[in-house]
């Protein structure tokens, strides 16, 4: 691996917060919404927090799906996958949790006709992005994909159930005169969206999902390859991302 990394961010120590759970509820099959009150001052769509789970060496990263600027309450969505998410599910209102954040970069807000695409739990940052775009008066349309009806997370303008969120996407882009696509979900979905955007000569931003170890850019466990200055460089999803231009990711 080369010794240089893509636009390496300044090595700032992220603040460790202790938050109080204000609510936790089941919103879809094996999917939960948790609201956390803390002294976190701000957060933006695309960013994430890393929660410390007892008896686990590595923190668990979760996209921020909302942040209330007045109450300072942030929201995350999580789907049961392992011991970390099971720990979160078993917490109660009033319990304390420790987290690091906000981590990573944010989505760039551009005054264009925007299409937001969320696949499964990838809808989380899209919901926050939609809120930010609406606040700025930017035209947007959010489409999300789920395997079953009972997995649907509310908040989209349109849900694709059972099929692929990619189905008829090109037609939708042309019908709504879309100039920019934002997306989050499995790599295979992001790859196809980035390629479609390239074919249609429009811009795309992707929020990458990658297994993270430290979440602060030290371990390099979430490194991906990127096109930069007519060459290939390496960047870490947790520090240089998780948001990238779809055109700059090397899609293996």
User: Which of 227, 215, 43, 240 lies closest to 124, judged by CA?
Assistant: 43
In the predicted structure, residue 221 carries a pLDDT above the cut 80 = no
Question: What residues contact 76, with CB distance under 8 A and at least 6 apart?
Answer: 33, 34, 36, 49, 62, 63, 64, 65, 124
Is 8 a domain residue? no
Are residues 243 and 120 both part of a single domain? Answer: yes
Are residues 189 and 237 both part of a single domain? Answer: yes
In the predicted structure, residue 2 carries a pLDDT above the cut 60 = no
Are residues 95 and 125 both part of a single domain? Answer: no
Quickly state the pLDDT bin for 213 (edges 50, 70, 90): low
Percentage of the chain exceeding pLDDT 70:
91
Question: Residue 183 and residue 115: Cα distance in Å, rounded?
Answer: 8
* Cross-strand partners of 75: 35, 66
Is 3 a domain residue? no
Are residues 155 and 96 both part of a single domain? Answer: no
Are 52 and 87 in contact, with CB atoms under 8 Å apart?
A: no
Are residues 150 and 220 both part of a single domain? Answer: yes
Tokens of 94: 């009033």
Average pLDDT estimate for 162-183 = 96
Are residues 73 and 194 both part of a single domain? Answer: no
Is 216 a domain residue? yes
- Quote the pLDDT of residue 55: 79
Are residues 243 and 122 both part of a single domain? Answer: yes
* Dihedral pair phi/psi, residue 68, rounded to 5°: -90, 115
Place of tokens 């720990």: 87
- Quote the pLDDT of residue 216: 66
How many domains does one find in the chain? 2
Quickly state the pLDDT bin for 91 (edges 50, 70, 90): very high
* Cross-strand partners of 118: 144, 184
Average pLDDT estimate for 239-243 = 93
In the predicted structure, residue 205 carries a pLDDT above the cut 80 = yes
From 72, 103, 134, the end of a domain falls on 103
Average pLDDT estimate for 8-12 = 42
Are residues 78 and 163 both part of a single domain? Answer: no
Is 6 a domain residue? no
Is 127 a domain residue? yes
In the predicted structure, residue 8 carries a pLDDT above the cut 50 = no
Q: What is the CATH number of the domain that holds 169?
A: 3.40.50.80
Intra-chain end-to-end CA distance of the chain, in Å: 16
Are residues 142 and 164 both part of a single domain? Answer: yes
Is 7 a domain residue? no
Average pLDDT estimate for 4-19 = 58
Are residues 243 and 118 both part of a single domain? Answer: yes
From 52, 73, 103, the end of a domain falls on 103
Question: What residues contact 239, with CB distance under 8 A and at least 6 apart?
Answer: 8, 9, 104, 216, 217
Q: pLDDT tens digits for 122-153?
A: 999 999 999 999 999 999 999 999 999 999 99
In the predicted structure, residue 198 carries a pLDDT above the cut 50 = yes
Question: Residue 70 and residue 100: Cα distance in Å, rounded?
Answer: 20
From 103, 123, 155, the end of a domain falls on 103
Lowest mean pLDDT among 3-12, 44-53, 89-98, 127-136: 3-12
- Structural domain boundaries, residue 21: 16-103
Are residues 224 and 150 both part of a single domain? Answer: yes
Is 73 a domain residue? yes
Are residues 44 and 132 both part of a single domain? Answer: no
Quickly state the pLDDT bin for 10 (edges 50, 70, 90): very low
Is 204 a domain residue? yes
Q: pLDDT tens digits for 145-156?
A: 999 999 999 999
Q: pLDDT tens digits for 47-73?
A: 999 999 887 777 899 999 999 999 999
> Which segments of 15-93 are extended strands (E)?
16-28, 31-37, 48-52, 60-67, 73-79
Please indicate, yes or no, whether the overall pTM of this predicted structure exceeds 0.85: yes
- Quote the pLDDT of residue 217: 64
Q: What is the CATH number of the domain that holds 97?
A: 2.40.30.10
């Amino acid at each position: 691996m080369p010794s240089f990394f893509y636009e390496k961010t300044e090595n700032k120590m992220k603040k460790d917060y202790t938050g109080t759970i204000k609510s936790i509820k089941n919103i879809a099959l094996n999917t939960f919404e948790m609201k956390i009150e803390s002294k976190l001052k701000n957060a933006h769509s695309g960013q994430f927090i890393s929660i410390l789970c007892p008896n686990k060496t590595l923190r668990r990263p979760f996209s921020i799906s909302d942040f209330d600027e007045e109450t300072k309450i942030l929201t995350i969505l999580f789907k049961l996958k392992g011991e970390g998410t099971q720990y979160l599910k078993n917490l109660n209102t009033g319990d304390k949790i420790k987290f690091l954040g906000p981590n990573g970069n944010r989505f760039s807000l551009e005054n264009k006709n925007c299409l937001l695409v969320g696949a499964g739990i990838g809808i989380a940052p899209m919901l926050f992005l939609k809120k930010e775009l609406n606040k700025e008066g930017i035209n947007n349309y959010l489409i999300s994909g789920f395997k079953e009806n009972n997995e649907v997370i509310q908040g989209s303008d349109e849900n694709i159930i059972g099929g692929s969120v990619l189905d008829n996407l090109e037609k939708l882009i042309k019908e709504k005169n879309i100039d920019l696509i934002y997306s989050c979900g499995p790599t295979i979905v992001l790859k196809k969206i980035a390629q479609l955007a390239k074919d249609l000569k429009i811009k795309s931003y992707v929020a990458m999902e990658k297994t993270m170890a430290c979440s602060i850019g030290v371990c390099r466990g979430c490194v991906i390859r990127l096109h930069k200055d007519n060459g290939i460089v390496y960047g870490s999803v947790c520090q240089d991302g998780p948001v990238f231009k779809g055109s700059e990711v090397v899609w293996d």
